[in-house]
């Protein structure tokens, strides 16, 4: 029997240095795309995929991420008294226990951040979502992955073709047989130089993983950059468990990058009927 995916890990302890100075006092996951923060998009995507518990792996100065999903009595009371609609606040409401947080006390890499959630994940398969990888699609990227997991089981990573000169920014897949949008994974290499990359199929910020990964990450083996790399841990599962890369029908915006962040705002604003006319008027005026 394939166990369902009920829990998702959100590694949100990073410092967001690529977006300084905005992230000096604000978590990058709280920066807004149009009118809601990045973390909201990721949580909504997880909910659509059937996730019941969101595990935030946070760090110092990240308490606002949890606070955002808390009840705001004063704000709601003020809006009600003024006769204003509470609809804008509706997406932030959560059930008791739906969001929990743990601390990553040392910046030891993505693999270490995921390992910090081990006690809450337990012996269940789980998802990982990187909120600064904004994935826009219908259904959402994780829902597409969960549907594929229901058929294939094992481990599934989200992947897309990357430019040849960008392989050093991604985990790159050694591909096997491809069926439809799923490709068997024979190997994973973290951030290879273009001349060393086994393909151009790069891993992007969505994963479905088996709990055995936590024992591997717990060994603390260091990889690229002297960090505990998630890619290295996943590579040790290849050949022992089913492992596939899935190309999803979604547009990815790298919102950890300044240009990507601006383009994501523009793209999502153009998708909004209430905002599109003014955006198009502005763009036309720029010639």
| Cα Rg of the chain (Å, integer) | 19
Strand partners, 287: none
- pLDDT of 141 reads 97
- pLDDT of 88 reads 76
Angle between helices 276-285 and 258-270 (to 10 degrees): 120
> pLDDT tens, position by position, for the chain (287 residues)?
789 999 999 999 988 899 999 999 899 999 999 999 999 999 999 999 999 999 999 988 888 898 888 878 888 889 888 888 878 777 777 777 899 999 998 888 999 999 999 999 999 999 999 999 999 999 999 999 999 999 999 999 999 999 999 999 888 999 999 999 999 999 998 888 999 999 999 999 999 999 999 999 999 888 877 888 898 999 999 999 999 999 999 999 999 999 999 999 999 999 999 999 999 999 999 87
- pLDDT of 190 reads 84
Contact 127, 149 (CB under 8 A): no
- pLDDT of 73 reads 80
Task: Classify domain 7-285 by CATH architecture.
Answer: Alpha-Beta Complex (3.90)
Domain boundaries, the chain: 7-285
Phi and psi at 25, nearest 5°, equal -125, -5
- pLDDT of 36 reads 93
Q: How far is CA 28 from CA 25, 65, 111, 189, 192, in A?
A: 9, 10, 19, 27, 27
Q: What is the pLDDT of residues 95-130, one digit of tens each?
A: 778 999 999 988 889 999 999 999 999 999 999 999
- pLDDT of 46 reads 96
Is the preceding omega at residue 129 within 30 degrees of 0, hence cis? no
């Amino acid at each position: 029997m394939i166990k369902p995916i009920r829990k998702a890990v959100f590694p949100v302890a990073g410092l967001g240095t690529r977006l300084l100075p905005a992230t000096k006092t604000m978590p990058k996951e709280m920066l807004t795309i149009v009118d809601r923060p990045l973390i909201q998009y990721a949580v909504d995507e997880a909910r659509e995929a059937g996730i019941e518990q969101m595990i935030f792996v946070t760090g110092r100065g990240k308490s606002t991420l949890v606070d955002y999903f808390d009840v705001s009595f004063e704000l709601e009371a003020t809006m009600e008294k003024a006769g204003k609609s509470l609809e804008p606040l509706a997406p932030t409401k959560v059930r008791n226990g739906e969001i929990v947080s743990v601390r990553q006390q040392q910046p030891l890499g993505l693999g270490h951040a995921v390992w910090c959630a081990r006690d809450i994940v337990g012996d269940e398969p789980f998802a990982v979502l990187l909120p600064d990888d904004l994935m826009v699609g219908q259904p959402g990227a994780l829902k597409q992955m969960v549907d594929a997991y229901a058929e294939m089981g094992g481990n599934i990573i989200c992947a897309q073709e990357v430019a040849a000169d960008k392989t050093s920014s991604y985990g790159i897949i050694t591909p096997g047989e491809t069926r439809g949008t799923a490709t068997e994974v024979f190997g994973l290499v973290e951030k290879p130089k273009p001349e060393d990359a086994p393909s151009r199929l790069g891993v992007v910020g969505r994963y479905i993983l088996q709990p055995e990964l936590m024992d591997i990450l717990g060994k603390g083996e260091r990889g690229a950059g002297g960090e505990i790399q998630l890619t290295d841990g996943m590579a040790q599962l290849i050949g022992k468990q089913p492992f596939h890369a899935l190309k999803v029908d979604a547009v990815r915006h790298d919102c950890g990058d300044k240009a990507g962040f601006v383009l994501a705002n523009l793209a999502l604003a153009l998708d909004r009927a209430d905002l599109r006319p003014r955006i198009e008027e502005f763009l036309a005026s720029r010639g």
